[in-house]
């Protein structure tokens, strides 16, 4: 048996193993020796079989076995033979329980076709690879090194899975599309969805509440989101495919993944807005001479407008990437944006309130400067003409979510009163 395995003759290995198992031991008082020999052979064969199973599992885990129908690699073991040795019948039934159509097409109680065995062995190898990953298996507080190890392990799993799953189309061909779909559905529901739910978007280790740390958290979310979407696309499972009928069999799993992505977007998006707000604060803090903001040279005013415009463009780009389907999600988004705009306006207002005294101390006539200030405010918010960088930004946000009418209603309510206050404040 050992030589059969060494030489790649698994068909002979299986034949010999089945023969030894079939031997019936009926002990007779007159045949002690023969009975003892058969028992000894059976015991040794079981030990050999146990070791061979371990070796095959290791080979599958580390992708050492060629699983195509006509193997030509260094270890030419056919997946049908591996299937028999590892006794994967119960594992097969578990996989087929994820897809009723596949269960109906392949009557596994009668016979398991070779093509099914090849796909099952691939999935079994993926499950072994997954089991060997160290994904937060710690009985202590998780460190930054642990999180990096977790991230690297997930990337290895994606790479391994992609390599294996891409062979499904070749193995299954057109007459076994149901089998390919069943395998992908199992992979999605058994591994990918649980990973995304429990481990994938685990935030970076935050040792302080610094601005840069918050931004890093958002950037890491973006990186992970893109990696996940690319991985699924490579498996021909597009999260944002408009024709949902193409993915009707995966719809529940893909919808659940999209919901998790959006939930993590909201939790990280506030960090992104926090960073943008503080970039504005840092710029205002660097203005050493407030009077230059209202001089004939309007460079500082233009720079401030440019910073706001850049921040708003980044926000719109991030929002447009996601498809918010429900009113609940859209409402949540608008509340976050409204809050951020109020903070921006208050920040600018506080800056004016704190520093306008410099003009008065200089002995200058403040009338012209107040006029410059009001003109600058109108560049931000011109309610009468419904213009200004902030109004245009908010209008774009509402319209991008299909809420143009809601924007018109919102503009005439409490928001309009808040903005009127900003425009009417005097600095006497």
For residue 269, the SS3 value is helix
Residue 88's pLDDT band (boundaries 50, 70, 90)? very high
pLDDT at 68: 47
Using only the alpha carbons of the chain, give its radius of gyration: 33
Judge whether 351 lies within some domain.
yes
Number of domains present in the structure of the chain: 2
Cα–Cα distance measured from residue 132 to residue 323, given in angstroms and rounded to the nearest whole number: 35
The more confident residue out of 247 and 326 is 326
- CA-to-CA distance for 146 and 154, rounded, in angstroms? 12
- Helix 251-286 × helix 299-321 angle, to 10°: 170
Tokens of 217: 């958290």
Assess if residue 118 is contained within a domain. no
CB distance 4 to 10 below 8 Å: yes
* Confidence grade of residue 5 (pLDDT, cut at 50, 70, 90): confident
In a domain, 127, yes or no: no
In a domain, 228, yes or no: no
- DSSP-derived 3-state class of residue 142: coil
Answer with the one of 61, 85, 106 that is the final residue of a domain. Answer: 61
State residue 120's pLDDT score: 92
Positive or negative torsion for Cα 107, 113, 115, 120: positive
In 10 A of CB 59, how many CB atoms?
Answer: 17
Which of the residue ranges 65-74, 229-238, 299-308 has the most confident prediction, judged by mean pLDDT?
229-238
Q: Is residue 230 part of a domain?
A: no
Domain-embedded: residue 412: yes
| Whole-number pLDDT of residue 8 | 76
Contact indicator for 61, 53 with CB cutoff of 8 Å? no
Q: By residue range, what is the domain housing residue 420?
A: 287-424
Residue at token pair 């020796």: 33
Q: Where are the alpha helices (DSSP H) in 295-326?
A: 299-321
Cβ atoms 228, 261 nearer than 8 A = yes
Flag whether 17 is in a domain: yes
d(CA 116, CA 127): 16
Asked whether the predicted pLDDT for residue 26 surpasses 80, the reply is no
Q: Is the pLDDT of residue 197 over 60?
A: yes
Determine the angle formed by the axes of helices 366-380 and 414-424, rounding to 10 degrees.
160
Examine the pLDDT at 318 and tell me if it is beyond 80: yes
The model's pTM: 0.76
Looking at residue 343, what is its pLDDT? 92
Cα separation, 150 vs 133, in Å, equals: 8
Residue 300's pLDDT band (cuts 50, 70, 90)? confident
Residue 238 scores a pLDDT above 80 = no
pLDDT for res 50: 92
* Residue 95 is assigned to a structural domain of this protein: no
């Amino acid at each position: 048996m050992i030589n059969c395995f060494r030489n790649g003759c698994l068909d002979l290995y299986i034949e010999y193993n089945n023969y030894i198992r079939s031997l019936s031991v009926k002990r007779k008082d007159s045949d002690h020796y023969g009975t003892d020999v058969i028992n000894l052979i059976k015991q040794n064969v079981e030990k050999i079989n146990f070791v061979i199973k371990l070796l095959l599992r290791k080979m599958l885990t580390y992708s050492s076995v060629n699983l195509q129908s006509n193997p030509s690699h260094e270890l030419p073991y056919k997946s049908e033979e591996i299937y028999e040795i590892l006794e994967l019948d119960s594992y097969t039934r578990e996989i087929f329980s994820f897809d009723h159509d596949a269960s109906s097409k392949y009557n596994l109680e009668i016979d398991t076709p070779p093509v099914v065995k090849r796909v099952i062995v691939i999935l079994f190898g993926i499950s072994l690879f997954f089991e060997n990953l160290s994904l937060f298996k710690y009985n202590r507080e998780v460190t930054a090194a642990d999180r990096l190890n977790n991230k690297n392990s997930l990337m290895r799993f994606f790479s391994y899975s992609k390599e294996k799953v891409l062979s499904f189309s070749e193995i299954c061909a057109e007459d076994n599309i149901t089998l390919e779909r069943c395998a992908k559905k199992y992979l999605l529901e058994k591994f990918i969805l649980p990973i995304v739910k429990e481990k994938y978007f685990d935030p970076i280790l935050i040792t302080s509440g610094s601005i840069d740390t918050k931004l890093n958290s958002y950037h890491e979310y973006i990186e992970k989101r893109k990696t996940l979407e690319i991985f699924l696309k490579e498996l021909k499972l597009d999260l944002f495919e408009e024709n949902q009928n193409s993915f009707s069999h995966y719809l529940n799993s893909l919808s659940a993944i999209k919901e998790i992505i959006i939930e993590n977007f909201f939790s990280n998006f506030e960090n992104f807005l926090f960073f943008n707000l503080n970039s504005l604060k840092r710029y205002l803090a660097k203005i050493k001479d407030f009077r230059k903001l209202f001089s004939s040279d309007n460079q500082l005013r233009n720079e401030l407008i440019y910073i706001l415009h850049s921040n708003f463009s980044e926000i719109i780009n991030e929002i447009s990437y996601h498809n918010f389907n429900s009113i609940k999600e859209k409402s949540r988004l608008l509340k976050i944006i409204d809050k951020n705009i109020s903070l921006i306006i208050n920040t600018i207002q506080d800056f004016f309130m704190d520093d306008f005294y410099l003009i008065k101390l200089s002995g200058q006539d403040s009338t012209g400067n107040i006029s410059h200030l009001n003109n600058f405010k109108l560049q931000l918010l011109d309610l009468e003409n419904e213009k200004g960088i902030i109004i245009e930004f908010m209008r774009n946000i509402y319209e991008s979510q299909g809420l143009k009418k809601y924007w018109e209603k919102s503009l005439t309510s409490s928001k309009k009163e808040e903005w009127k206050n900003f425009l009417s404040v005097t600095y006497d």
